[in-house]
Amino acid sequence: MDFDTPLFDSVLAETWIRAIAAAVEEEEALLTELDSAIGDGDHGSNLRRGFAAVLSALDGLQPTGPGAVLTKTGTTLISKVGGASGPLYGKAFRAIGAALPEPAGPATLAEALAAGLDAVRILGKAEPGDKTIVDAWTPAVAALRAAAAAGATLPEATAAAADAADQGARATIPLRARKGRASYLGERSTGHQDPGATSTALLFRALADVAHN
């Protein structure tokens, strides 16, 4: 365990997941609009339904550490969300949870989120530049690692990660999709922000917000 304060513990983990659920509900229309342009148009509704199920699953949970919260989140998303987003985010949260059995500071959290990224890349067979979740998640992890190495606090490090994720999501606009439903559009997929990268940016912004409170 690293002893940076404040620590990412089970309370903060659950607060984070509840903040993601609120952000997804608030931005459902945006996610739907983005996905309607280059996908099936169900990214927002799928995530809203999935995180609503997660909130129900977390009610009454008495976690032994932050990992238990995140593992439960991942398992619920896999079982309740259709399309690609359920398995991808579900596997990611399960990997993050496995890497966080105890409260952790920025450095350990960065490595746990890197494990989540690895899970997404393996399942989705995606790399940076493919116009996917990976394009927001990769710079977020890099920024969090760099901030942690520089001695940043948890609020500072997560804010850096959120900013990097936002930039990564916006950077998908000119890209041609090489994975997923959007790849079928070829050149027509350019000029649109990727919905998965956008929801990933919401995820990291929610983390930064709860770390500051």
In a domain, 1, yes or no: no
Q: Return all residues near 184 (Cβ < 8 A) that are at least 6 apart.
A: none
7: closest CA among 115, 134, 154?
154
Q: Residue 204: pLDDT above 70?
A: yes
**Tokens 């990611």, residue?**
92
Count: domains in the chain: 1
- Give residue-wise pLDDT tens across range 135-174: 999 999 999 999 999 999 999 999 999 999 999 999 999 9
CATH of the domain at 92: 1.25.40.340
CA angle 130, 99, 94 (to 5 degrees): 60
How far is the C-alpha of 34 from the C-alpha of 43, rounded, in Å? Answer: 9
Question: CB of 181 within 8 A of CB of 158?
Answer: no
What's the distance, CA 151 to chain centroid? 23
Q: Return all residues near 67 (Cβ < 8 A) that are at least 6 apart.
A: 13, 96, 97, 98, 99, 100, 101, 102
Range of the domain at 95: 10-212
- pLDDT the model gives residue 64: 87
- pLDDT the model gives residue 184: 66
In a domain, 171, yes or no: yes
In a domain, 193, yes or no: yes
Give SS3 for 177. Answer: coil
In a domain, 2, yes or no: no
Structure token digits, residue 24: 């997804």
Helices 106-124 and 85-98, packing angle to 10 deg: 140
In a domain, 172, yes or no: yes
How far is the C-alpha of 199 from the C-alpha of 30, rounded, in Å? Answer: 10
How far is the C-alpha of 31 from the C-alpha of 208, rounded, in Å? Answer: 20
25-52: average pLDDT: 93
In a domain, 3, yes or no: no
In a domain, 161, yes or no: yes
Peptide bond just before 103 cis, omega within 30 deg: no
- Give residue-wise pLDDT tens across range 123-136: 999 999 999 999 99
Q: What is the 3-state secondary structure (H, E, C) of 40-63?
A: CCCHHHHHHHHHHHHHHHHCCCCC
78: closest CA among 99, 51, 96?
51
- Give residue-wise pLDDT tens across range 86-118: 999 999 999 999 999 999 999 999 999 999 999
